[in-house]
Structure 1
Amino acid sequence: MTEPRPGATPDGQDHVARNRAHWDGERAAIHGPLARAHWASTEPTWGLWGTPDSRAGLIPADIAGQDVVELGCGTAYVSAWLARAGARPVGIDISAEQLATARALQREFGLEFPLLLADAERVPLRDGRFALVISDYGASLWCDPYRWVPEAARLLAPGGRLAFSWRSPIFTACRAESGPADARLRRPYFSVRRHPEGAGVEFNLPHGAMLRLLRGHGFTVDDLIEVAAPESAVRDYPEVSADWARAWPSEELWVATRTG
């Protein structure tokens, strides 16, 4: 089977430019006010349903003193958690507005680490430098996996970890272009690779395609958590309700090791 051509979105417009405008515009206005709460959190949590890292295990226990890169860092709250744990993070994002919020929060919380305005599909950092590449709904969701996964492999030292969260392909198949996911299949499962999200473009892959992509770039998959919304979850999101996410996985957490 021939994989779709990476790069342009189906309408021919570059997804990188679209996503930069999206995150400098409407998404910055939405996510900016939420950033401070993430920075103030004392325990790393992942995704919409706040899965604690004590359960997920995305961050290695021995991360202190290690070089880390966050791809699609946004307001860089993940990098802030890692800095507090003693790591040396670098945040990468295409949105100047998101990075401006991150720098303001660095000053407020007294943390300092590099923040680079760059495309996570073409990272301006040297090969084999990092012990951890991580993305929480960042490059993992908004970048072409056939571009950002090879970059993650290039950046990681042998034995390094890739950890990321993104949408479940089941969620993507059950959601139309607008409105929340429901109990019907809205998209063909094998065609969930790229799709519009507001003015931007999100990416997803079926499990088999993602496993082949990771293996093809020297990764061994250590864990895949299909997240169920906890019984305590009461907040609904525009794209998914807590009730839906208790019945079907709306998001996933992946951990892989660069062994090749």
Structure 2
Amino acid sequence: MTHDGPTDHLEQNRRYWDDQAAAWHGPLARDHWAQVEPRWGLWGTPESQVSVLPSDIAGMRTIELGCGTAYVSAWLAGAGAHPVGIDLSEQQLSTARAMQAEFGIDFPLVLGNAEEVPYEDDSFDLAISEYGASLWCDPYRWIPEAARLLVPGGRLVFSRYSPLFALCVPPEGPASTTLSRSQFGLTRLDWGNHVEFVLPHGDMFRLLRASGFVVEDLIEVQAPQHARDYMEVTADWARQWPSEEIWKARLTG
């Protein structure tokens, strides 16, 4: 599958994370690394509720696409997997290396682009992205790349903003009860200093199928009671409509 869209988002997003976001995201890394049970996404949904990780994760070769501070890869290592993390932000990876030293967990961290990963075909059993490549990379590039990296029968798991959230969030935030953009043609969201990607469900299903995946589950996450608000979405909004979702797919062949 080929895609001829613009690639300027890569440099925009690298600058965003190196120059701005790493400053506020880095201090959260220690809390994530210290968690005994993985908790996913904005609302800290516990692994026991959503089973993001395969039950047979021990021994799997895994790659985290857009790993940031690599706490997901740390969780994978703690479960017995053999993770690799890749991210385009040197600042994020610097924090990840500091956490590796502090927690005594070591695995490869690669400075690079999740749309073009420097590993051979069939190198991994699981590809995973929690608001990494799944939000910050072009899906028409990173999903076929994940398929290339996985062995037949390999699994792809990712979390992202929901299409409904993308339709309802204005440039100034937070998500409202008013539609702010059209669903038709929804793909790329330009926020001035960074770019995000959210495909509607139909387009995502077709892309996954065209890349060789079978979708096994789609979990639309509801915010729990007494959750904190975020700049982009309030907990009250996300208790009524899904602001984020988790996809699970398996590569055929």
Give the TM interval when normalised to the shorter protein. Answer: over 0.9
Matched with 2:168 is 174
Displacement, 1:259? 1.0
The 5 Å alignment of 1:131-142 reads 131-142=125-136
The one-letter code matched in structure 2 to 1:222 is E
Matched with 1:241 is 234
Matched with 2:36 is 42
Displacement, 1:223? 0.3
Matched with 1:68 is 62
Matched with 1:255 is 248
For residues 16-74 of structure 1, give each alpha carbon's deviation from its aligned partner in whole angstroms, at most 9, with x where no partner exists.
Answer: 00000001011001101111100000111111011112221221111111100000000
The one-letter code matched in structure 2 to 1:70 is E
Identity, % of aligned positions = 63
Measured in 1, the distance between the counterparts of 2:239 and 2:192 equals 25
Displacement, 1:198? 5.6
The one-letter code matched in structure 1 to 2:97 is R
Matched with 1:7 is 6
Matched with 2:45 is 51
Secondary structure of the corresponding residue to residue 25 of structure 1: helix
Displacement, 1:4? 8.2
Secondary structure of the corresponding residue to residue 119 of structure 1: coil
Alpha-carbon spacing, 1:198–1:137, altered in 2? closer, same or farther (3 Å): farther
For residues 184-217 of structure 1, give each alpha carbon's deviation from its aligned partner in whole angstroms, at most 9, with x where no partner exists.
Answer: 0001112321112461100000000000000001
Matched with 2:196 is 202
Matched with 2:13 is 19
8 Å CA contact 2:67, 2:86 repeated in 1: yes
Alpha-carbon RMSD across the aligned residues, in angstroms, is 1.3
8 Å CA contact 1:6, 1:147 repeated in 2: no
In the TM superposition, structure 1's runs of 4+ consecutive aligned residues that sit over 2 Å from their partners are 3-8
**Does structure 1 residue 186 correspond to structure 2 residue 180?**
yes
Secondary structure of the corresponding residue to residue 191 of structure 1: coil
Unmatched runs of 5 consecutive residues or more in structure 1: 9-13
The one-letter code matched in structure 2 to 1:242 is A
**Does structure 1 residue 85 correspond to structure 2 residue 79?**
yes
For residues 202-241 of structure 1, give each alpha carbon's deviation from its aligned partner in whole angstroms, at most 9, with x where no partner exists.
Answer: 00000000000000011000000011101232x1000000
2:96 aligned to 102, 111, 135, which one?
A: 102
Alpha-carbon spacing, 1:198–1:104, altered in 2? closer, same or farther (3 Å): farther
Measured in 2, the distance between the counterparts of 1:56 and 1:198 equals 34
Alpha-carbon spacing, 1:198–1:80, altered in 2? closer, same or farther (3 Å): farther
The one-letter code matched in structure 1 to 2:6 is G
The one-letter code matched in structure 2 to 1:246 is R
The one-letter code matched in structure 1 to 2:180 is R
**Does structure 1 residue 230 correspond to structure 2 residue 224?**
yes
